[in-house]
Structure 1
Amino acid sequence: MTDEDGYFGEAVADRYDQSTGSEFQPDVIDRTVEFLSELADGGRALELAIGTGRIAVPLARRGVPVHGIDMSRAMVARLHAKPEGRDIGVSIGDFTTTTVDTEADGPFALAYLVFNTIMNVADQEGQVACFRNAARHLAPGGCFVIEVMVPELRKIPAGQNIVPFHTSPTGWAYTVYDTVTQDATCHYIDITEDGRGEAHSTPFRYVWPAELDLMAQLAGLRLRERWGGWAREPFTEDSTQHISVWEKPVE
């Protein structure tokens, strides 16, 4: 992952907080923050890909000290422009490798990566490195939380590899899957007010829950719990996403 790719540069950062997606709805944010604050249990939290602070700001408002890692200076600038975000520390860099100095304040009680962002790490080696980086920041007994979709391969018709996931009079979006490599690309097409079309694409690598558990094991973590949503809905074969919590063992 490199910021030079521009996936989360100025154009995305400028409109990110105006999104109407479900993840920006106040009730969804409240459930997310409640879940994370309970796990932090008075300790510090590290957000990988902190972005503009959609979760970090309300989590800090609850009294949880938050530090972030993010490679997009444009997104972090929006975070620090917010009154409640200006004092949240951020280390600029790739969250799979960038480390935060824990000597002064000690290790973190919680690390988290939300909203499918593990899939933005577009190769398996990088995803494993993400788990290892999270684990090295955690105190014994600390937790690493990931929110990610369940791959939608059951939606792919026989003989095809495309799944549309958004359609409207002003735009549409679809994903092209490679089921051999687990690579995929999301394509977005938007119609501007003057009738022009704008297109952009984002690559990712989809990953299964069992594969994430193996990555956690390689990083010295073990599965503690898995849910179908932030309200701790049961995770079932029909779940479209999962909230997984891995714990660093107490030696």
Structure 2
Amino acid sequence: MDDEDGYFPASVAATYDESTAEMSEPGVVATTVDVLANLAGDGSALELGIGTGRIALPLADRGVQVHGIDLSRSMVARLRAKPGSDAIGVTIGDFATTKVEGTFSVAYLVFNTIMNLTTQAEQVACFRNVATHLGPGGCFVIEVMVPELRKLTAGQNVVPFHVSPTRWAFDIYDVATQATSSHYVEVVDGRGTYRSIPFRYVWPSELDLMAQLAGLRLRERWGGWSREPFTSESGKHVSVWEKPVG
């Protein structure tokens, strides 16, 4: 692991946009940005784990003032190479604890990034950190998967999520600790590469309790950015917690 960039060093940042191309489809991005812009209103937005700017850039293009926090200088360098990035402020640091100036109408964590915090204590600290940055009535939005434990077979703890002639990817779950890790194997021109990233999966109800500890309350929960109902069959959820007024 790169000490400076965590699990997103230059080698990962270089191909990050291509590897997440499905998440960058115009329709996917537009639906996400619509929700966030509506929550921001006339205020500003704070993105935790801003990365290469997949959401921040189009949100700023909508007229929302955006500030981001990210641990990886390499990912932020990719953001800075894109048109319009000069309108976005970025602070390098751990988004669970890093403070920035200003008060925000909305803060958000997308694409499972809350799970990059690999302990419950860090996830709780993130909620508390966000609460200090929100103004009254401000919202914290998280997009995260529902743990895929139903895909585990008896005696197994591995869930494949990508299989192709040259690339394999799978998650390993530890149901006792809620630790999980994603593993990537790729073979190109006869040469193989391997990398893994640790996560901590988290349940919707657990996130609600973290929000309560930070003084936030659940406002809405959907099965996706199109505001579809969240059900027992949903593979992910988009949750919105609000900081009370007064």
TM-score range, shorter chain: over 0.9
Deviations 1:167-203 (A, max 9, x none): 01110111111000000111100111x1211000000
Q: Distance in 2 between matches of 1:5 and 1:113?
A: 18
SS in 1 for 2:144: strand
Aligned to 2:29: 29
Aligned to 2:77: 77
The alpha-carbon deviation at position 83 of structure 1 amounts to 1.7
Aligned to 1:87: 87
Deviations 1:143-169 (A, max 9, x none): 000000000000000111111111011
Is 1:168 paired with 2:164? Answer: yes
Deviations 1:93-119 (A, max 9, x none): 0000000012xxxx1000000000000
The range that moved more, 47-56 or 4-13, is: 4-13
Q: Distance in 2 between matches of 1:6 and 1:141?
A: 33
What is the 5 A alignment of 1:204-243? 204-243=199-238
The alpha-carbon deviation at position 207 of structure 1 amounts to 0.2
Number of aligned residue pairs: 246
Query: Which of structure 1's runs of 4+ aligned residues deviate more than 3 A?
Result: 1-6
Q: Distance in 2 between matches of 1:36 and 1:6?
A: 27
Q: Distance in 1 between matches of 2:146 and 2:43?
A: 30
Q: Distance in 2 between matches of 1:49 and 1:200?
A: 20
Q: Does structure 1 retain, via aligned residues, the 8 Å contact 2:218–2:240?
A: yes
The amino acid of 1:48's aligned partner reads L
What is the 5 A alignment of 1:108-123? 108-123=104-119
The alpha-carbon deviation at position 21 of structure 1 amounts to 4.1
The alpha-carbon deviation at position 84 of structure 1 amounts to 0.8
Q: Does structure 2 retain, via aligned residues, the 8 Å contact 1:80–1:88?
A: no
The alpha-carbon deviation at position 78 of structure 1 amounts to 1.1
Give identity over the alignment, percent: 67
> Which residue of 237, 241, 248 maps to 2:243?
248
The amino acid of 2:105's aligned partner reads A
Q: Distance in 1 between matches of 2:25 and 2:193?
A: 26
SS in 2 for 1:238: coil
Q: Does structure 2 retain, via aligned residues, the 8 Å contact 1:3–1:72?
A: no
The alpha-carbon deviation at position 49 of structure 1 amounts to 0.5
> Which residue of 143, 151, 158 maps to 1:155?
151
Q: Distance in 2 between matches of 1:53 and 1:22?
A: 15
Q: Distance in 2 between matches of 1:92 and 1:4?
A: 10
Q: In angstroms, what is the RMSD of aligned CA positions?
A: 1.3
Q: Distance in 2 between matches of 1:144 and 1:89?
A: 19
Q: Distance in 2 between matches of 1:2 and 1:112?
A: 25
Q: TM-score, normalised by structure 1?
A: 0.95
The alpha-carbon deviation at position 19 of structure 1 amounts to 2.5
Q: Does structure 1 retain, via aligned residues, the 8 Å contact 2:104–2:138?
A: yes
Q: TM-score, normalised by structure 2?
A: 0.97
Q: Distance in 2 between matches of 1:210 and 1:2?
A: 33
The alpha-carbon deviation at position 5 of structure 1 amounts to 6.3
Q: Does structure 1 retain, via aligned residues, the 8 Å contact 2:5–2:71?
A: no
SS in 2 for 1:111: strand
What is the 5 A alignment of 1:87-106? 87-102=87-102
Q: Distance in 1 between matches of 2:153 and 2:45?
A: 42
